[in-house]
Amino acid sequence: MPIRVVNIVGTRPNMMKIAPIMEEMSKDGFFQPVLVHTGQHYDENMSKVFFRQLGIPEPDYNLGVGSGTHTYQTAQVMLALEPLLEELKPDCVLVVGDVNSTLAAALVTAKMLIPVAHVEAGLRSFDRTMPEEINRTLTDHISDFLFTTEESGNENLFREGVSEEKIFFVGDVMIDTLLRHKEVARALNMPERLGLNPKGYALLTLHRPSNVDRREALSGVVKALSQVQELLPIVFPVHPRTRRRLEEFDLWEELSGLPGMVLTEPLGYLEFLGLMQDARVVLTDSGGIQEETTILRVPCLTLRDNTERPVTLTQGTNRLVGNRPGDIVRAVQEVLGCGVQIGRLPNLWDGRAAERIVCILRNRLG
Ligand code: UD1
């Protein structure tokens, strides 16, 4: 009998993490991987395009939870997943990252006494105002296999009293996906398609509640952007949450009227990766992009005061700049004023993390 593993995805950043794991689990008949999409993200450009581009099979089940408050999303995933797990009786449930779907699925699974595997375990921003910090901390403490991406993750887990036997330092599955798709992404000639020169533009993403949900914070960022776009054009694929806030705070007209701003819908994985590789600088509040720019050796300015991925600061190309307009503009000027940035590649970010994870699960569950 093959080992049945239910793999959970819910949001955009989950897709690039699950892709290499599903691929690896499907290689021989040892595992029977089942894919469950919670439906937390549901749009074509927030979800479906990633399945197509990354070759992820259609989900076997979609829980269809959609948008709502954190409690609503978490509860809906739990209610829908419990009967499904009762029916499927998996040997293990694998969750990735730190979104509401991750915690909800882990909680249901642990209560049913089914082993939980958490990919991207141990990361800590030490900022409990971030919903992701609560999700990742709680998920770790009810998981049986904790797969970490960087050494800080191991240290955090040891400090929190997680037993050493449960912790496996395997590297970063998101980097597996990046290394696999880098060349295809480059061949799309994304800068050219947007009328930009390679290394002649900034790339921006923004969606954290701390930056977009309060008027002062968001208008401060817009103020900074209006100065930065005088230095170099900025490509900005706008997240639906951010778009809504920009409109609500009457900032959309101002932003879209700036001559150096190139606003787009959220982009597919390959299109975004293509743009990221050739950016002069990336400005972001995303977690994953801090890691991706480190591998691509593109300077990254993170518009937050903390990061749960400290290896991107100590070895990579990342710098924390917060969200004050003066600090953002100064940091961009500094990047533009200096030459090539050479970071070191973090340990085990070598494109083989999924292989390690699946090998460990095979040995332990087999
Ligand atoms: C979620 C994750 C965050 C991750 C981000 C990536 C949590 C707590 N947060 O935040 O960690 O970095 O996804 O995008 O799980 N919406 C659409 N179409 C969709 C999905 C969402 O229009 O396909 C809109 C909805 O109006 C929704 C809003 O975007 O209210 C926010 O979506 P939600 O899933 O609640 O959280 P994110 O901000 O995307």
Residue with tokens 């779907």: 101
Indicate if ligand 1 lies below 6 Å from the C-beta of 42. Answer: yes
Ligand 1 contact via 13 beta carbon (within 6 Å): yes
Q: Which atom of ligand 1 is nearest to the CA of 135?
A: 8
pLDDT at 340: 64
Separation of 97 CA from ligand 1 center, angstroms? 14
Question: Does the global pTM surpass 0.85?
Answer: yes
Q: How far does the centroid of ligand 1 lie from the alpha carbon of residue 282, in Å?
A: 21
Q: How far apart are CA 283 and CA 236, in angstroms?
A: 10
Q: Is the CB of 136 under 6 A from ligand 1?
A: no
Same fold, 3-171+349-365 and 181-337: yes
**Residue 69 DSSP class:** -
DSSP codes of every residue in 36-50? EE--SS-SIIIIIHH
Candidates 222, 236, 244, 119; CA nearest to 170 is 119
Q: Where are the domains of the chain?
A: 3-171+349-365, 181-337
Q: Of all atoms in ligand 1, which is nearest to the CA of residue 207?
A: 38
Ligand 1 atom 17, closest CA: 240
- The tokens of 335 are what? 């990047």
Nearest to 198 by CA among 278, 125, 295, 267: 278
218 touches 210 (CB < 8 A):
no
Which CATH number is correct for 3-171+349-365, 3.20.20.70, 3.40.50.2000, 3.40.47.10, 1.10.260.30?
Answer: 3.40.50.2000
**Residue matched to tokens 């921006």:** 204
List the beta strands (DSSP E) in 188-336: 202-204, 234-237, 261-264, 281-284, 300-302, 318-320
Q: Would you say the CB of residue 41 lies under 6 angstroms from ligand 1?
A: yes
Q: From the CB of 241, is ligand 1 less than 6 Å away?
A: yes
Q: Which helix (H) or strand (E) holds 241?
A: helix 240-248
Task: For residue 24, give both structure tokens.
Answer: 């690896």
| Strand partners for 203 | 235, 282
Separation of CA 359 and ligand 1 centre (Å) = 32
Phi, psi (deg, nearest 5) at residue 345: -85, 130
**pLDDT value of residue 342:** 74
What per-residue confidence (pLDDT) applies to 126? 98
First to last CA, the chain: 10
Ligand 1 atom closest to Cα of 208?
38
One-letter identity of residue 334:
E
Among the listed residues 118, 181, 207, 239, the single catalytic one is: 207
The number of C-alpha atoms within 13 Å of 187 and in the hemisphere containing its C-beta is: 4
User: Is any atom of ligand 1 closer than 6 Å to the C-beta of 198?
Assistant: no
Residue 347 alpha carbon to ligand 1 centre in Å: 31
Q: How many A from CA of 44 to the centre of ligand 1?
A: 13
Token duo for residue 99: 């979104």
241 CA to centre of ligand 1 in angstroms: 7
Contact between 31 and 61 under an 8 Å Cβ cutoff? The reply is: no
Burial of 319 (0-12, 13-18, 19+ CB in 10 A): middle
- Protein residue with its CA nearest to atom 9 in ligand 1: 99
Q: Whose CA is nearest to atom 35 of ligand 1?
A: 67
Taking alpha carbons only, the member of 278, 277, 286, 298 closest to residue 343 is 298
* Atom number of ligand 1 nearest to Cα 13: 6
- Dist. CA 81 → ligand 1 center (Å): 20
Q: Is the CB of 12 under 6 A from ligand 1?
A: yes
Q: What atom of ligand 1 comes closest to residue 45's alpha carbon?
A: 23
154 Cβ contact list (under 8 Å, min separation 6): 122, 148, 167, 169
41 in active site: no
Residue 161, sorted as left (phi over 0), alpha (psi -120 to 50) or beta, turns out to be: left
* Cα–Cα distance list, 268 to 10, 54, 185, 214, 351 (Å): 16, 10, 10, 27, 21
Q: Looking at the structure, give the CATH architecture of the domain made up of residues 181-337.
A: 3-Layer(aba) Sandwich (3.40)
DSSP for 329-359, written as a single string: HHHHHHHHHS-----PPPTT-SS-HHHHHHH
Torsion of CA 110, 111, 113, 114, to 10 degrees: -50
The pair phi, psi for residue 261, each rounded to 5°, is: -95, 130
Residue 119 dihedral angles phi and psi, to the nearest 5°: -95, 130
Residue 341 has what pLDDT? 65
Q: What are phi and psi of 364, to 5 degrees?
A: -80, -35
3-state secondary structure of 250: coil
Give the residue ranges of the chain where pLDDT is below 50: none
Our answer on whether the CB atom of 132 is closer than 6 Å to any ligand 1 atom is yes
pLDDT in the model for residue 304: 98
Ligand 1 atom with the shortest distance to the CA of 209: 38
| Protein residue closest via CA to atom 14 of ligand 1 | 12
Residue 147 φ/ψ, nearest 5 degrees: -95, 115
